[in-house]
Amino acid sequence: MPGDPNPAPAPAPASVSAPADPTVRVRAQEAETVLAAAGVEDPRREAGRLAAFALGIPLARYYAILNDPFPADRLPAFEDAVRRRAARVPYAYIVGSVGFYGHEFSIGPGVLIPRPETELLVDAALETALRTTRDGTGVSFLDLCTGCGCVAVSLALALRAKGRTPHGAGTDLSEDALRSARENARRLAPGEDLMFLYADLFPPEAFRVDLVAANPPYIPTFDIPPLEPEVGRFEPLVALDGGLDGLDFYRRLVSGAPRFLNPGGALLLEHGADQGPAIRALLEGSPVLEGIGTLLDLAGHPRVTYATLTAEPGGSPEADPGQGSGTSAASDDSGASAASAPDAPAPGAADGR
């Protein structure tokens, strides 16, 4: 049979669409698998945080776009972040910042990552200052072992918000830490009277202040190797190692801090959850410190122990005899007033003496 001269047109071939890019959810699930295999705690949360970082969006926004395709141009950054986190690099070092006391602090390798528990040290210093000074007056303080400057900067900003004029100095033995602290102070507290000095605990030249706060290294030497890799392998040993019993720096603080305190000034020490009794014993052994008490953190652990200087220790203040040579000096030309003997800080106080 002859063919139809006008045959019906052949059906058009089905169009072939390119496969869709994997979604944000799929990429995050892949990352979660990698992180779980590496032993990272809470790998789902970490995968989400890393995805949000790589995408440049808040974490809340990340949860709203889980079904969207993962942008191809952001994938290399995400894969690199996941690779580093799987190697147990701390999240804060990967993203370059950490939240503390309502502020975002720049952070990097070589600088201790602030912990939420340290916010209690700022609370205690702030409440002590408010109890012992009047609105519109100055408050001078030292922040020893300042790290990224989170305590000094947060305290200065909180004092300013409460009508006080802060005059603060932070010390550290790490140049990396000092660079970080100065950068954070310039960015978060421009114009505030804050300085950061190279020193092995106490400043190389002594001056008197109303408050001395410290979060020194307090992990016993032989407790460091078993720590999780994020801490033991990546955070600076100099900011962790407190000596054989973890108390080396506290002995120096208790003996040396009175030379830097105005009469009636306060010494506030952060410490490990099981170190409260030992810190109190050191403070109770000082002939010039009293009003000793301990504050509990949100988990109910003893975390900050404090005391006040109620008698002039005699003589002019000296640099700590146990410290190395420093390269900078400060003088107390701020005009900050001496604090009167503070009442014990109230929130969470445990058996204050």
Pair 307, 279: CB distance under 8 Å: no
Least Cα distance to 149 among 198, 102, 99, 183 occurs for 183
Residue 11: pLDDT band with limits 50, 70, 90: low
Pair 211, 139: CB distance under 8 Å: yes
pLDDT of residue 215: 98
Characterize 310-326 residue by residue with b for buried, 16 or more Cβ atoms within 10 angstroms of its Cβ, and e for exposed: eeeeeeebebbeebeeb
pLDDT of residue 155: 98
pLDDT of residue 97: 97
> Is the domain of 32 the same as that of 145?
no
Pair 51, 24: CB distance under 8 Å: yes
Last residue of a domain, one of 37, 72, 87: 87
What value, to the nearest 5°, has the Cα angle with vertex 44 and ends 43 and 48? 115
> Is the domain of 201 the same as that of 306?
yes
Place of tokens 């789902």: 44
> Is the domain of 154 the same as that of 80?
no
Contacts of 310 (CB under 8 A, 6+ apart): 263, 264, 288, 289, 290, 291, 341
Tally of domains within the chain = 2
> Is the domain of 160 the same as that of 59?
no
> Is the domain of 76 the same as that of 123?
no
pLDDT of residue 310: 82
Which residue type does 10 have? Answer: A
> Is the domain of 124 the same as that of 209?
yes
* Residue 274 within a domain: yes
Return d(Cα 40, Cα 145) in angstroms, integer: 29
- Measured between its terminal Cα atoms, the distance across the chain in Å is 114
Evaluate if residue 114 carries a pLDDT over 70: yes
Pair 23, 69: CB distance under 8 Å: yes
* Residue 292 within a domain: yes
Evaluate if residue 139 carries a pLDDT over 50: yes
Pair 262, 206: CB distance under 8 Å: no
pLDDT digits (tens, 9 = 90+) for 224-246: 999 999 999 999 999 999 999 99
> Is the domain of 78 the same as that of 210?
no
* Residue 130 within a domain: yes
pLDDT digits (tens, 9 = 90+) for 40-97: 999 999 999 999 999 999 999 999 999 999 999 999 999 999 999 999 999 999 999 9
Return d(Cα 112, Cα 161) in angstroms, integer: 27
Place of tokens 């003996």: 255
Calculate the average pLDDT of the chain.
87
Give the residue-averaged pLDDT of 181-202: 97
* Residue 9 within a domain: no
Contacts of 28 (CB under 8 A, 6+ apart): 44, 47, 48, 51, 66
Evaluate if residue 12 carries a pLDDT over 50: no
Return d(Cα 311, Cα 313) in angstroms, integer: 6
Can you give the CATH number for the domain in which 239 is found? 3.40.50.150
> Is the domain of 184 the same as that of 263?
yes
Give the residue-averaged pLDDT of 333-348: 34
Report the run of H or E that residue 281 belongs to, with start and end.
helix 276-284
**281 vs 314, higher pLDDT:** 281
pLDDT digits (tens, 9 = 90+) for 15-25: 444 456 899 99
Pair 101, 150: CB distance under 8 Å: yes
Return d(Cα 203, Cα 199) in angstroms, integer: 5
> Is the domain of 327 the same as that of 267?
yes
pLDDT of residue 35: 98
Evaluate if residue 352 carries a pLDDT over 60: no
Q: Which domain holds residue 83?
A: 24-87
> Is the domain of 51 the same as that of 174?
no
* Residue 157 within a domain: yes
pLDDT of residue 21: 81
pLDDT digits (tens, 9 = 90+) for 194-222: 999 999 999 988 899 999 999 999 999 99
Least Cα distance to 172 among 193, 152, 157 occurs for 152
* Residue 16 within a domain: no
* Residue 103 within a domain: no
pLDDT of residue 85: 98
DSSP string, 40-106: -SSHHHHHHHHHHHHHT--HHHHHH-TTSBPPGGGHHHHHHHHHHHHTT--HHHHHTEEEETTEEEE
Evaluate if residue 14 carries a pLDDT over 80: no
Evaluate if residue 349 carries a pLDDT over 90: no
> Is the domain of 55 the same as that of 188?
no
Evaluate if residue 340 carries a pLDDT over 90: no
> Is the domain of 227 the same as that of 310?
yes
Q: What is the pTM of this model?
A: 0.83
Evaluate if residue 122 carries a pLDDT over 80: yes
Lowest mean pLDDT across 19-33, 112-126, 211-225, 273-287: 19-33
pLDDT of residue 20: 63
* Residue 93 within a domain: no
